[in-house]
Structure 1
Amino acid sequence: MLISRLLALTASVAAAAAQIKGFNYGSTFSDGSVKQLADFENEFRTAQGLVGTSGFSSAHLFTMIQGGTPITPTSAIQAAINTKTTLLLGLWISAGPDIVNNEIAALKAAIAQYGTAFTDLIIGIACGSEDMYRETPEGIASNAGPGVSPDQIVKYIQMVRDAITGTPAEKAPVGHSDTWTAYANASNSAVIAACDWLGVNAFPYFQVKMDNSIENAKSIFYNALDAVRAVSKGKPLWVCETGWPISGATLNKAVPSIDNAKKYWDDVGCSLFGNINTWWYTLQDTAPNPIPLPFGIVGSTLSTTPLFDLTCPNPKRLSRRRLQSAQQQPHGL
């Protein structure tokens, strides 16, 4: 009886985890001003109340540090507690070891300050984002900024694990998010081995060496996911960033528009939601100023009414092969 109960609990937790969906949230607005507690709360509540959909109650953060401070924990944590928003925490690691030390200090301070009210919301911890990509020829050619070597990322992952050991957050799975091309590079295999899960950032819009029209976007996305699966060593795959721009420059055959952003949501998003942990890019990125390449599904005024219909036309499921390769292990067991 005990074994059957444990198996049932594991299955229920796995099913719940597989339905995690949310958005990416930066620490500043488009004019560079720093987001405060009320700003994060407003964004999290807006995501939860979006017309045409439901369940977007998770936030992928990119830093543990409140803007304008050296090591103060981000106010997004208190906002998450207030709104019951789960968290994929992010530590920014491309700015050098001193900043990484500050990120870890902020993480430890947040655990001490908020305790289980915070740690119970943690889905995972992302140690870096696209740091390997920025070290590749493609990243260098696109002026993506400084990256981090694989051995250094492995070191930072261990530092995060050491920091949470003996705390209420010690069971939080630690991973890294990057592009499929970075994972497919054999020189980065040590990072894959060090991770509990692999975060995939995939944007067919930027695949300019392919026919990246919106009609081909879904196949390009899943080919990228399959490429990561092939080198994943059996690690769970989470989609940490994907989306389609609503306006901006055409890249090869990829045309930004509201109509194409909706088609990408319908074709890719609706096939992911409920199957794989997914954090969409993004809820809003044009407040208060417009930007050259916006991805936000909400315009410059924060509103639960999106720019396009978010209703998934038909419930879609991944193929058994893709679902088995991508779905995550139960969290917290």
Structure 2
Amino acid sequence: MANPYRHNGKEGAHKFFEEGFRDVFRRARENAYADYPITVYYAFKQQDSSKGGQSSTGWETLLEGMIRSGWQITATWPMRTEGSGRLLAKDTNALASSIVLALRPRPEDAPRVDRRAFLARLRNELPASLRELQQGAIAPVDLPQAAIGPGMAIFSEYNAVLEDDGSKMTVRTALQRINAILDEVLGELENDFDAPTRFALTWFRQNGFDSGKFGDAESLANARSISLDGMERSGILTKGGGRVALIAPTDMPADYDPSTDSSISQWEVVMHLVRVLDSDGIPAASTLLSLVPDAVDTDLCRELASLLFKLAEDRKSTALAVSFNGLGAAWSDIARGARGAAHQEMLL
């Protein structure tokens, strides 16, 4: 145990912790078979701040110890091991509390690569891996941690990633780049959404569900060749008194029927799904989704829920973040139920 009282203070405890990890994984690597992976279970505890944002020094030490001992990290998967009340608890890690890693021995003759080549591979390969993760039953809150797997698989494939000055890139820097590309990918998804949804995302990023100036909203709408009047009629926003506000999920009409909505948008579908899921659960959300016209890309609705979780989290809107995360986490069950409801309707 890395106890400051046993190892001459915090610095000594950290050194003991770091060297111990490296020794464990070095010994495991000496007796490892290339054909057989190993799995490691890690529980998060320590977190501190850096210029690049929040980071866990214990987590970084673990990864450094694995990689420097000759292991390649091929996958990471978060596990929910604590109560839901801790999901976005104050001053704690907002990700899953524990994670499982899959490792394989890295070949002794693995090459080195420069920073530019490493980043190019991340940009080329990470987007497809992220889309695969989003198709699985993974909550939006856990996506950044799961994305570390394919990102670290690239980083740990090499004996070293060299910075411009010839030094070895650290795990902390690699994690920062992986997270930055994750943000880029999620941002690029906005181009795939319909125009009202793109407007709503931009407005939500600036104002949440609070009101903003009419002139600002009109400028955003005009840039997307849509009108505020049209979005008001479709049930996305309200306007009056020189102010504009998006309609929050809790304020959406309870009698909404997407099958009769001639101006439906992905934003509207997600808002109503959040409302129904929070109030009536998965079966009711499945029924609602089954009524959404085929013209609406429901895969994009799922991606929208993930993006909205991140935006709500950035805005420190905890309750909204929990709701959007809940929709993303339950999406597979909701979609499965929607298919069953649609099939049952066909039989009737």
Shared fold per TM-score greater than 0.5: no
Q: TM range, normalised to the smaller chain?
A: under 0.3
TM-score, normalisation: structure 2: 0.26
Higher normalized helix content (fraction of residues): 2
Structure with the greater relative contact order (CA < 8 A, sep ≥ 6): 1 or 2? 1
